[in-house]
Amino acid sequence: MKPKQITNNQENLFRNRLSNQLNPKNELFQLAKIIPWDELDRECADLFLNNTCGRPPTPVRLVIGLLLLQYMHNLSDDNVVRTWTENPYWQYFCGYDYLQWNLPIDSSSLTRWRKRLGTEKLQKILAMTVSVSLKIGVIKKKDLEDVIVDTTIMPKNIEYPTDVKLLEKARRKIVKLSEEVNLSLRQNYNLVSKKILRKIGGYLHARQMKRANREIKQFKTLVGRVMRDCNRKIETRAELREKFTEILSQTKHLLERKNSDSKKLYSLHEPEVVCISKGKARKKYEFGCKVSLAITHRKGTGIILSSEALAGNPFDGHSLKPALENVAMITGVKVKNAFVDKGYKGHGVEDCNVFVSGQRLGITSGLKKAIKRRQAIEPYIGHLKDEVKLGLSRLKSFVGDCINALLSAASYNLKQVLRYLRNFLCQIFAILFAQMILAK
């Protein structure tokens, strides 16, 4: 069934329209008129079935508007829905011309809508923000030919991984699953594990490493007993093997892995998480995934043209060609000049001029200044992590990381557009005010 349409054609005798009450000079009011909402509706039309059964889906403009507002203001699902009822500018931005008093949707619907939209539709939304920036003059089409490309780390919402914590979580999960399927284990070690974990924490705090290692070895033995006991009980029951396969394989990996192993498990519920070395004294390692970003090179613009989560921990140089292809797909303009840091040496890109920081051969004075501007992407990465949700991904699995990276980039572009509209309107009104004073 096709989604509902927000209609404001019918007049209400006892209520006034928001368009007649809100400040038309407000930048969000202006942005609501600039975004091509009808085009986004057509892009999302293939997400719905052509039948007449069931409840009509939520309007597409409402959902996309809520997602963009959520990331622009770094809010949770519950808070963005609750704040929407309190802010008439947000309601007008989402297509409502009369003040709404009830919650627009249940906050859990945003989770399902993010999955429904997927990375393909969210790339269209990112492309829409770039086209809006071109339309109002934040950037020019020529600016799309020169980009700055860099990678950053998007941490995952997991606890700092240690062997003892992960093994305790695995033991609890095995015991819980066994209780759910009425599988009787010989012993679950619930009370014993509490005492051992308390001892391990005390010994590690006091730097008594021999005693701590002895207790850790004993704890691993207990977890191994639970795992082997569960394996024996489900060996003849085929219907239970599928439920226990993942957690038992994870537990076995935790018990057998060594310090020299390359592929390690850092989270039971997020097995895709990798450990990435930052090489910085304040934070040596982060647990999450890499994100490749590309922004416009010209000074004063800073529009994000590509945002892509990278699986694993790839070499930066190998991610440059896909990033440039992604920019061309989103903007429709082929990149001529790309400016990168020294981590991209050996990139292998031949159809584009790639300038690496510190490059000296064949560099003119103009190119030298352009290469120095490569570092301008660093503060934008900082703003993406502090102001929107790139600083911590709370969405599940690698698909959630891709969605989080795309929504963060699209919302940041709209924040840049709002800032431009605010400054532009202020300049216009300052000129008009000065003319009025001169006329007097």
Q: Residue 365 falls within a domain, yes or no?
A: yes
Q: Is a pLDDT exceeding 70 seen at residue 433?
A: no
Which residues touch 427 (CB under 8 Å, ≥6 apart)? none
Which residues touch 29 (CB under 8 Å, ≥6 apart)? 22, 23, 89, 92, 93
Q: Tokens 């503060």 belong to which residue?
A: 379
State the chain's mean pLDDT as an integer.
89
Statement to judge: residues 359 and 291 lie in one domain:
yes
Q: Residue 173 falls within a domain, yes or no?
A: yes
Structural domain count, the chain:
2
- Residue 296's DSSP bridge partners are 147
Q: Residue 31 falls within a domain, yes or no?
A: no
The pLDDT assigned to 273 comes to: 93
Q: Residue 109 falls within a domain, yes or no?
A: no
Statement to judge: residues 149 and 280 lie in one domain:
yes
Statement to judge: residues 313 and 386 lie in one domain:
yes
Taking the C-alpha atoms of residue 221 and residue 199, their distance in angstroms, rounded to an integer, is: 16
Q: For the ranges 320-324, 330-334, 349-353, which has the lowest average pLDDT?
A: 349-353
Taking the C-alpha atoms of residue 195 and residue 200, their distance in angstroms, rounded to an integer, is: 9
Taking the C-alpha atoms of residue 99 and residue 196, their distance in angstroms, rounded to an integer, is: 59
* DSSP 8-state assignment for residue 148: E
Sequence letter at residue 283: K
Q: Residue 170 falls within a domain, yes or no?
A: yes
Q: Residue 150 falls within a domain, yes or no?
A: yes
Half-sphere exposure of 354 (CA within 13 A, CB side): 21
Statement to judge: residues 151 and 196 lie in one domain:
no
Statement to judge: residues 151 and 177 lie in one domain:
no
- Looking only at the bridges linking them, the beta strands covering 285-296 and 146-155 are antiparallel
Sequence letter at residue 52: T
Calculate helix-pair angle for 77-84, 60-72, nearest 10 degrees.
110
The pLDDT assigned to 333 comes to: 92
Statement to judge: residues 290 and 248 lie in one domain:
no
- Of 299 and 431, the one with more pLDDT: 299
The pLDDT assigned to 429 comes to: 55
Residue 283 pLDDT class (50, 70, 90 cuts): confident
Statement to judge: residues 143 and 243 lie in one domain:
no
* pLDDT tens string 94-142: 999 999 999 999 999 999 999 999 999 999 999 999 999 999 989 999 9
Residue ranges making up the domain that contains 388 = 139-155+273-397
Taking the C-alpha atoms of residue 302 and residue 138, their distance in angstroms, rounded to an integer, is: 9
Taking the C-alpha atoms of residue 307 and residue 127, their distance in angstroms, rounded to an integer, is: 11
Residue 281 pLDDT class (50, 70, 90 cuts): confident
Which residues touch 232 (CB under 8 Å, ≥6 apart)? none
Statement to judge: residues 221 and 286 lie in one domain:
no
Statement to judge: residues 249 and 325 lie in one domain:
no
* pLDDT tens string 215-242: 999 999 999 999 999 999 998 888 888 8
Q: Is a pLDDT exceeding 60 seen at residue 434?
A: no
Q: Where are the alpha helices (DSSP H) in 107-159?
A: 108-136
Statement to judge: residues 235 and 279 lie in one domain:
no
Statement to judge: residues 295 and 367 lie in one domain:
yes
Phi, psi of 375 (to 5 degrees): -75, -5
Domain boundary among 193, 225, 256: 256
Q: Residue 103 falls within a domain, yes or no?
A: no
Contact 152, 311 (CB under 8 A): no
* Percent of the chain whose pLDDT exceeds 70: 95
Contact 197, 219 (CB under 8 A): yes
Statement to judge: residues 279 and 364 lie in one domain:
yes
Q: Residue 197 falls within a domain, yes or no?
A: yes
Helix (H) / strand (E) containing 30: helix 27-34
